[in-house]
Amino acid sequence: MPDNRIILHVDMDYFFAQCEEREHPELKGKPVVICVYSGRGGDSGAVSTSNYEARKFGIKAGIPISRAKKLNPDAVFLPVNMELYRSISDDIMEILRGFSDIVEQESIDEAFCDITGKVADFDEAKKLAAQIKDAIRQNVGLTCSAGIAPNKLVAKIASDFQKPDGLTVVKPEEVRTFLEPLKVTDLIGVGKKTAERLNELGINTIGDMSKLSIGELVSEFGQAKGAWMKQASQGIDTTPVQEREGTEQIGRITTLKEDTKDLKVILDTIDRLSGEVSGKLKERKLSFRSVTFIGISTDFKTHTKSRTLGAPAKDAGTIKRVANELARDFIVQYPTALRRVGLRVANFSGEKSQMTLGEF
Ligand code: DGT
Ligand code: CA
Ligand code: CA
């Protein structure tokens, strides 16, 4: 089967750290390190990610926070603020869904889009990707890197090829030469162990790997893995881009003018956010079954309160009413000042209609 699809992969640049830069513009230009504190006190924990300034000092995902502090004591160290990253992620996914019917969210900061039906060829695909990057920059305020290829395997490698703010197109006839010089671990699915064994066999690049016969690969790595490796090293991948059920949600989060526990201020804000969220639902003709109130307190802790409805609803009134009740319950339970409040609906049913470019 000839693979004549056009697949786009979008991956946000230094995502958690870039979200923080957006929220705190004074951080721009400084090394920023996002930390997962283990809760055992002090600097115990690991680096979740860092911006490119911090990476210049060797500070990268996975290293201990204490080590990062030694590498650059003057860097800005921040705790993970997952609720913020999730709400920004939702906004990004929503933009992608406006451009492509088929979107598969792969992780918090990346997604595949099958744009075969949207463009005539790879040149048009490149223009569409540039538009998507602009829409994300203008509406969300963040940069991303995009890759376009005939399949998911190659598109993902392409998006990583020129980071940050990259756009790499690999046409079908360029796939082999594009992959040839790359390390075997650049193929998602070739892990550390497999790579070590390949290196022992003198196989370092994807090009080397493609020259092994299927028999050699199968006898070394087993039937299924060997067969897959033969295909992958030639840039062949037929897995479809598939929307994952239940991953979709629409939310809005906002910073209050000042920290407050004033119920009226919070409810007024929730009313406004309800209007925005129901507007989005209306455009997409979606019904929802769950509503979540999000409150971020002055110590940057995120609190949520959710309710699942007995039956799907789609009207602004229901969102407002349920969100209001959740907010009231929250304030009664935690009489703490809030810095940010938000609202999210999920568990969708109904039509997934397209948004037009003009809406962005
Ligand atoms: P990039 O794509 O190289 O510009 O940088 P990131 O930071 O976007 O890296 P990516 O795409 O691998 O991961 C997306 C986010 O996921 C990242 O901003 C933080 C989080 N993340 C990545 N690796 C780890 C990890 O090892 N531990 C934890 N807790 N979070 C991680
Ligand atoms: Ca990323
Ligand atoms: Ca990623």
pLDDT tens digit sequence for 83-123: 899 889 988 988 998 899 889 999 999 999 999 999 999 99
Q: Quick one: which ligand is closest to 33's CA? A: 1
Q: What is the pLDDT of residue 127?
A: 98
The rounded percent of the chain whose pLDDT value lies above 90 is 73
* Contacts of 269 by beta carbon, 8 Å cutoff, 6+ apart: 254, 256, 341
φ/ψ (deg, to 5) at 78: -125, 145
Q: At the topology level of CATH, where does 249-350 sit?
A: Dna Ligase; domain 1 (3.30.1490)
CATH number assigned to the domain with residue range 17-81, chosen from the 4 options 3.40.1170.60, 3.30.2310.20, 1.20.1070.10, 3.50.40.10: 3.40.1170.60
pLDDT for 198: 97
Residues 136 and 158: beta-carbon distance below 8 Å: no
Name the residue ranges covered by the structural domains of the chain. 17-81, 180-233, 249-350
Which tokens belong to 33? 């390190």
Q: Does 352 score more than 90 pLDDT?
A: no
Could you tell me which CATH class the domain 180-233 is placed in? mainly alpha
**Burial of 307 per CB tally in 10 Å (0-12, 13-18, 19+):** middle
- Model-level pTM? 0.78
Whether residue 15 has its Cβ less than 6 Å from ligand 1? yes
Alpha-carbon gap, residue 357 to 131, rounded angstroms: 9
More confident residue, 347 or 108: 108
Q: Which of 82, 103, 107 is nearest to 94 (CA)?
A: 103
Length of the chain equals 360
Q: Ligand 1: distance of its center to the CA of 14 in Å? A: 7
253 alpha carbon to ligand 3 midpoint, in Å? 23
**What's the gap between Cα 77 and its chain centre?**
22
- Which residue in 291, 299, 293, 292 sits closest to 339, CA to CA? 299
- pLDDT of 247 > 70? The answer is no
Instruction: Examine the residue annotation and report whether 83 is marked as an active-site residue of this protein.
Output: no
Summary mean pLDDT of the chain: 91
Beta-carbon neighbours within 5 Å of ion ligand 3: 11, 109-110
Question: Is residue 7 within a helix (H) or strand (E), and if so which, with residue range?
Answer: strand 7-12
Domains 180-233 and 249-350 share a fold: no
Token pair of 88 as six digits: 């920004």
Local confidence band at 355 (pLDDT 50, 70, 90 cut-offs): very low
DSSP 8-state code for residue 182: S
Task: Establish whether residue 50 lines the binding site of ligand 1, counting it when its CB lies within 6 angstroms of any ligand atom.
Answer: no
